[in-house]
Amino acid sequence: MYLYHFGLTELPFTLTPNTSFYLPMAMHDEALAVLSTALKTGEGFIKVVGEVGTGKTLLCRKLLNEIPEHFVTAYIPNPYLNPDELRRAVAVELGIKQAQRMSVQLLTQRIQTRLLELHSQGHSVVLILDEAQALPEDSLEALRLFTNLETETRKLLQVVLFAQPELDERLSTTEFRQLKQRITFSYKLRAMNSNEVQQYIHHRLQVAGYKGAELFSDQLCNKIARVSQGVPRLVNILCHKMLMVAYGQGHYNMTAKILQAAVEDTESIEQNSNKKMFLALYVAISSLIILGGFFFYFSSVNEL
């Protein structure tokens, strides 16, 4: 691999969400601030939505690592579970023994008892679900019923949902209006702009131990930002492939030609590029049709 070639101590552009590479950018800091404020209220659902590859899982892990000590977390990374599986997964996370063997009724009682016990000890319990758009419909309803567990002054369980935009589409239906009303705080992650892509690339190289001359020029970073549309995962894929190509060719600096090779080898980038080309062509044809219509109209008027 290219580690020795570039003097790196670890791979800088892996797809694994590694919080040691976390870069405090505006959208992620704002999302963490919203989460912190929401958790202090102790009520309702909290939702963070972002397109594929915008850093939701990294943000989720950052929250898990930095959440205050008085919080007890139940983390469900893969929520494609039916209601019974979801209850049992939450019970296991809360430390309830033999959860897999209990009846549904007994399990529900044990969960409530455990939540009351933690509340009496001064703890707040947070259920965190990544990829929440994958929750089946009946599990979403079971999740809402979880939050009915409460004392006279406080909910016994808060829920944080990290999800793709498909979750918003589901919540906008009449069927889930009750759940949507319980979302007290929400945040939508955006993609990075050109300046943020530059900072992101240089930061990850620095964390990975790079100390040489500049590998990615600002101009090249701007091109990467454009073809990746600022999506962190796509930036990682492109930069990783560029380093591999440069290493294979014995080069020590990145070029537009190397970037083009990485783009051509990445299906998602090619699809995005094709969509842009189609849109541009559609706009151009539509403009010509409209202009042609105006020309025909005014020509007819002048003839009259």
Going from N- to C-terminal start, the domains of the chain cover 26-188, 193-265, 273-304
pLDDT, residue 146, reads 82
Please state which CATH class domain 193-265 belongs to.
mainly alpha
Along the 304 residues of the chain, how does pLDDT read in single tens digits? 789 999 999 999 999 899 999 999 999 999 999 999 999 888 789 999 999 999 999 999 999 999 999 999 999 998 889 999 999 999 999 999 888 888 988 998 999 999 999 999 999 999 999 999 999 999 998 888 888 887 767 788 999 999 999 999 999 999 899 889 989 999 999 999 999 999 999 999 999 999 989 999 999 999 999 999 999 999 999 999 999 999 999 988 899 999 999 999 888 775 444 444 333 333 444 444 444 554 444 455 455 5
Equal fold, 26-188 vs 193-265: no
- Report the SS3 class of residue 234: helix
Q: Characterize 21-38 residue by residue with b for buried, 16 or more Cβ atoms within 10 angstroms of its Cβ, and e for exposed.
A: bbbebebbeebbebbeeb
Architecture in CATH for domain 26-188? 3-Layer(aba) Sandwich (3.40)
Residue 230 neighbours by CB under 8 Å, 6+ apart: 190, 191, 192, 193, 194, 196, 197
